Amino acid sequence: MSWYHKKSIYQIFPRSFYDSNGDGIGDLIGIIQKLDYIKDMGFETIWISPFYTSPQKDFGYDISDYYNVSPEYGTLRDLEQLIIEAHAREIRVVFDIVMNHTSDQHPWFLESKSSRDNPKADWYIWRDKPTNWKSIIGPKGWHYCKERNQYYFASFFPFQPDLNFWNPEVKKTMFDVCRFWLSEGVDGFRLDIFNCIIKDKEFRDNPFDPFHLVPTKEHPGGFFQIRKYSLNQPENFVLAKELRKVADEFNGPPRLLVGEVFGSHKTIRKYLGEQDGLHLVFLFDILFYKFSAKFFRKKILEYEHYYPLPHVPTVVFSNHDQLRSIGIINGNMEKAKLLALTQYMMRCIPIVYYGEEIGMTSGDIPLKEARDYLPKFFNWVPQFVADLLPVALNRDVSRTPMQWNTNKNAGFSAADTTWLPVNKDVEDRNVAEQLLDKDSLLYVYRALNRLRRDHESIQSGTIEVIQTGNDNILAFTRTFEDEKLLILLNFSKSKIKNTLTETVKEVLYALKAEVTDSSECILQGYGGIVLKI
Ligand code: NOJ
């Protein structure tokens, strides 16, 4: 099995990770300065959210030059250095690439919108008469442009016009952007809204559905519309295979493609092809987990059904678009440790969002003070309603500065003010203090990364769910050749005794748990154990 199906991923939001030059904004040199921390934690791959030149209206997801670095993040030299330094520590580097759209300030769009007959006139999706397609965040998808007296389509924000991938020149240009970074040594890409890229060639209207106000997994987008012709088009699955060929053009270790795609499992697994498409897709359902053995049991079975070997599912609890999911368990650190253990023992690529390893909670930034653009669409929602929602209307809350210590600005920056305020929970949750406490959440992640690295059965073994007679225990085995592990996880707050029928060769990891001489396994509340049997 190749590295991309084995190694853990750590997501860095560069603006918020570490500020090396005291301007209140995280930067590339800041990431370099923290590589030893990442290495020591044992994370094997870093995925860096966009740092390219951008007006930053969507904090980098609106790119105006794919070949350059936004000045607040540093220079191309810093980027080269980052790749070199990461590789020197055997950390792989994955860039975030936004192929679906550019910024409306990108020279391509400025040219395209200037007239109907310029050389780039067909680089974006223009229509005299718009279809009924909505964007994926709900409101209208088409926007009027007076220069052309036409409408352009945007899957996300209005200042992010979608490129027209039916134009072969556009596709080639974007693939060349990928080739450029791959030749610079980047180990792969996280592909932003990859499932939006190709839209129906015939511009058919999407069906109206009175029952879909709220987006669902089957029908993302909501707002009474099934995105039948604007999402997950068959040509998108083909595009995945074409991009895979581009990634495979390069020598050395294979390059990783992980797609941000959404829809039913049946649909999104098509992006993987027969191992000739993307290597991984994000599975977002666990972001909204229930803290129960039953929930995870079901997920394991579901993932095995849709993503059987040789495919590998991803398990992600938090990212830069959603509330930090420790909120679901009210910030409880003991439960967070069990979740980390569950994530790392499942057959998956674990993806950890910066700060998750210290249990950072979502910041407390009102909609009205948001730097994020998303709240502009939802300014009619009262704050108290927004606070009750399971999704982030203001994504700033999950992007607050990394909490390194209890010094000024949580050790993130020497500036007087930081781009977003430091979260209030810094006293309780920061790296420095957890490094001093061997029982901390940080140490759990650190141990789990090592455990995973050292055991092929965890990285690539099969998984089998087993019954223990107690519904609060999630129990499964992981097997690779003659190595077999038994994992028992207690999702209840009470102590559970479990009689073991197998001979225990070794206790590989114990979280508030032990095996007694009489072959009994005692799991304290929220305890878990990994046994070699
Ligand atoms: C998905 C990204 O995760 C999000 O942060 C961004 O705003 C949109 N795509 C648009 O690029």
Q: Give the residue ranges of DSSP H helices in 147-287.
A: 168-183, 234-248, 265-268
- pLDDT (average), residues 489-507: 94
- Answer yes or no: is pLDDT of 174 > 90: yes
Render pLDDT for 336-362 as a digit per residue (tens, 0 to 9). Answer: 999 999 999 999 999 999 999 999 999
Q: What range does the domain containing 517 cover?
A: 462-532
Q: Indicate the pLDDT class of residue 63, thresholds 50, 70 and 90.
A: very high
Domain annotation covers residue 171: no
CA of 76 to the centre of ligand 1 (A): 23
pTM of the complete model beyond 0.95: yes
Q: Indicate the pLDDT class of residue 214, thresholds 50, 70 and 90.
A: confident
Residue 249 annotated as catalytic: yes
Q: Which of 59, 163, 192, 376 to mutate to test the pocket of ligand 1 (most atoms within 8 A of CB)?
A: 192
Render pLDDT for 90-99 as a digit per residue (tens, 0 to 9). Answer: 999 999 999 9
Which residues are registered as beta bridge partners of 466?
A: 475
Residue nearest to atom 3 of ligand 1 (CA): 321
Cβ atoms 102, 160 nearer than 8 A: yes
- Answer yes or no: is pLDDT of 217 > 90: no
CA of 61 to the centre of ligand 1 (A): 6
Looking from the CA of residue 61, the nearest atom of ligand 1 is 11
Cβ atoms 154, 163 nearer than 8 A: no
| Residue type at position 403 | Q
What's the pLDDT at 42?
A: 98
Cβ atoms 440, 434 nearer than 8 A: yes
The number of domains in the chain is 1
Among 326, 274, 291, 303, smallest CA distance to 441 is for 326
- Answer yes or no: is pLDDT of 249 > 90: yes
Cβ atoms 157, 373 nearer than 8 A: yes
Q: Is 78 in the pocket of ligand 1 (CB under 6 A)?
A: no
Q: Is 58 in the pocket of ligand 1 (CB under 6 A)?
A: yes
- pLDDT (average), residues 261-268: 95
| CATH number for position 473 | 2.60.40.1180
What's the pLDDT at 228?
A: 96
- Answer yes or no: is pLDDT of 135 > 90: yes
Structure tokens at 306: 């849709």
Query: What percent of the chain stands above pLDDT 90?
Result: 92
Q: Is 377 in the pocket of ligand 1 (CB under 6 A)?
A: no
Domain annotation covers residue 488: yes
Cα distance from N-terminal residue to C-terminal residue, the chain:
23
- Answer yes or no: is pLDDT of 378 > 90: no
With tokens 């009175």, the residue in question is: 210
Render pLDDT for 3-18 as a digit per residue (tens, 0 to 9). Answer: 999 999 999 999 999 9
- Answer yes or no: is pLDDT of 79 > 90: yes
CA of 496 to the centre of ligand 1 (A): 43
With tokens 């596709």, the residue in question is: 171
Among 357, 339, 389, smallest CA distance to 511 is for 339
Structure tokens at 19: 């500020």
- Answer yes or no: is pLDDT of 219 > 90: no
What's the pLDDT at 519?
A: 85
H or E element in which residue 188 lies = strand 188-191
With tokens 């653009």, the residue in question is: 373
Render pLDDT for 409-455 as a digit per residue (tens, 0 to 9). Answer: 999 999 999 999 999 999 999 999 999 999 999 999 999 999 999 99
d(CA 224, CA 367): 25
d(CA 10, CA 449): 11
Q: Which of 13, 15, 54, 156 to mutate to test the pocket of ligand 1 (most atoms within 8 A of CB)?
A: 156
Domain annotation covers residue 524: yes
CA of 102 to the centre of ligand 1 (A): 12
Residue nearest to atom 5 of ligand 1 (CA): 321
Q: Is 193 in the pocket of ligand 1 (CB under 6 A)?
A: yes
CA of 171 to the centre of ligand 1 (A): 20
What's the pLDDT at 430?
A: 98
- Answer yes or no: is pLDDT of 34 > 90: yes
Point out the least confidently predicted range of 6-10, 155-159, 292-296, 519-523: 519-523
Mean of the per-residue pLDDT values of the chain:
96
Q: Is 98 in the pocket of ligand 1 (CB under 6 A)?
A: yes
Domain annotation covers residue 53: no
Q: Is 156 in the pocket of ligand 1 (CB under 6 A)?
A: yes
Domain annotation covers residue 1: no
- pLDDT (average), residues 20-38: 98
One DSSP character per residue, 297-342 reads: HHHHHHHHHHS-TT---EEES--TTS--GGGGGTT-HHHHHHHHHH
Q: Indicate the pLDDT class of residue 106, thresholds 50, 70 and 90.
A: very high
Among candidate residues 72, 192, 260, 396, the one labeled active-site is 192
Query: What percent of the chain stands above pLDDT 70?
Result: 100
How many other C-beta atoms can be found within 10 angstroms of the C-beta atom of residue 240?
25
Q: Is 372 in the pocket of ligand 1 (CB under 6 A)?
A: no
d(CA 444, CA 345): 13
- Answer yes or no: is pLDDT of 215 > 90: no
CA of 147 to the centre of ligand 1 (A): 27
CA of 58 to the centre of ligand 1 (A): 8
Domain annotation covers residue 414: no
Domain annotation covers residue 499: yes
- pLDDT (average), residues 310-323: 97
- Answer yes or no: is pLDDT of 370 > 90: yes
Domain annotation covers residue 494: yes
Looking from the CA of residue 62, the nearest atom of ligand 1 is 11
Render pLDDT for 451-466 as a digit per residue (tens, 0 to 9). Answer: 999 999 999 999 999 9
- pLDDT (average), residues 362-373: 94
Among candidate residues 249, 364, 427, 471, the one labeled active-site is 249
CA of 200 to the centre of ligand 1 (A): 22
Point out the least confidently predicted range of 9-18, 27-36, 518-527: 518-527
Point out the least confidently predicted range of 55-69, 142-156, 214-228, 229-243: 214-228
Q: Is 19 in the pocket of ligand 1 (CB under 6 A)?
A: no
Q: Is 61 in the pocket of ligand 1 (CB under 6 A)?
A: yes
Looking from the CA of residue 100, the nearest atom of ligand 1 is 11
